[in-house]
Structure 1
């Protein structure tokens, strides 16, 4: 009796697609948690709260799309989701505690990394999955808009901006790699 072949292997198109969906769902979930942390500190009456709330609503919409795609395509979410729930909220709250510009520095760094990540995914997908490519392209445009809003709101005026920006982008890269696999 021979052993059954696995349903997919690393490097297979299905495996790559599942990895993309897993990490995208995790990223959108993390973004909702970051914005929740920012709003928890800044409150609903801060001048930036309306804009942060609008960005949070878009991230929630992105998350709902990826949740649906995971269910539709039989992809499990990352096992790290409970960790990302806490880490995202702490990151958002901590940067907001530093100040609204630091919260926007966080947004700029995260959205720059997600923009680059989505660009890599679109290149990898090519014409293989038009539905997923269309969603990623649409969400990438939203992420770029969030970054531009953050920059216009003074993200770069944050003390130690280059350090904060680099640290957050590095953290995002690590989160992306872990969420692809776990």
Structure 2
């Protein structure tokens, strides 16, 4: 049965299942091979490995938040095609989640312990955006992906020069995130007010500061 015919209770159960898959390590399998598999292996110093792990932990948490945002928006979206668009984007983001998790494991590190809290917060934000209206929900996706691309570009500059595997993952993520943002705006997304954009940047800054080490 198509998800658009599910009851609210059905969709809540599906959301709980998706939350568990997002938050429990090893629960997601990427549809696409990780770009890291094709990149050159390099020996990183202890300091370089710690730096790369901190950055990839932030990116992993970002993908946890992306899952929660999309799922929250899908739950409250008014138009079936918008709901399906959110679900489709969330499925594509699972690749990023799995790639970042694999890279953290390779760097002998772990995901942030704060992920459950950030998932709950992001889900609430996404659900609220969906309730306000589909054009604003799509606009929120467009602005979110724009800001994500900006911080990924920053991480590409900050990664150790020899960490080719993490770099390959982030480069593909930039391509995918830009596509999601452009698609949302093309589907009718509205430009968000400047105070909302500023608030999103502030919240993202808090998340990055906390998850790099915790």
TM bin, normalised by shorter chain, reads: 0.7 to 0.9
CA RMSD of aligned residues (A): 1.9
SS of corresponding position for 1:109: helix
| Structure 1, unaligned runs of 5 or more | 1-6
Residue 14 (structure 1) shift: 1.6
Residue 150 (structure 1) shift: 2.0
Which position in structure 2 is the counterpart of 1:163? 195
Query: Pick from 164, 177, 183: which aligns with 1:149?
Result: 183
* Contact 1:107/1:150 (8 A) holds in 2: yes
1:104-143 correspondence to structure 2 within 5 Å: 104-125=138-159, 127-143=161-177
Residue 164 (structure 1) shift: 2.2
Which position in structure 1 is the counterpart of 2:99? 65
- CA distance in 1 between counterparts of 2:161 and 2:201 reads 29
SS of corresponding position for 1:155: coil
- CA distance in 1 between counterparts of 2:48 and 2:73 reads 37
TM-score normalised per structure 1: 0.85
Which position in structure 1 is the counterpart of 2:204? 172
Which position in structure 2 is the counterpart of 1:28? 63
In the superposition, relative to structure 1, how do residues 156 and 162 fare at CA in structure 2: closer, same or farther (>3 Å)?
farther
| Structure 2, unaligned runs of 5 or more | 1-44
In the superposition, relative to structure 1, how do residues 157 and 140 fare at CA in structure 2: closer, same or farther (>3 Å)?
closer
Of 102-111 and 77-86, more deviation after overlay is shown by 102-111
Residue 126 (structure 1) shift: 6.0
Residue 124 (structure 1) shift: 1.9
Residue 136 (structure 1) shift: 0.5
Of 51-60 and 70-79, more deviation after overlay is shown by 70-79
In the superposition, relative to structure 1, how do residues 162 and 151 fare at CA in structure 2: closer, same or farther (>3 Å)?
farther
Q: Deviations over 1:57-105 (max 9, x none)?
A: 1111110111222223221211211111101110110110111122122
* Contact 1:105/1:165 (8 A) holds in 2: no
1:42-57 correspondence to structure 2 within 5 Å: 42=77, 46-57=80-91
Query: How many equivalent pairs are there?
Result: 170
Which position in structure 1 is the counterpart of 2:111? 77
Q: Deviations over 1:21-69 (max 9, x none)?
A: 11111001110011110111127x6221222122111111110111222
* Contact 2:48/2:160 (8 A) holds in 1: no
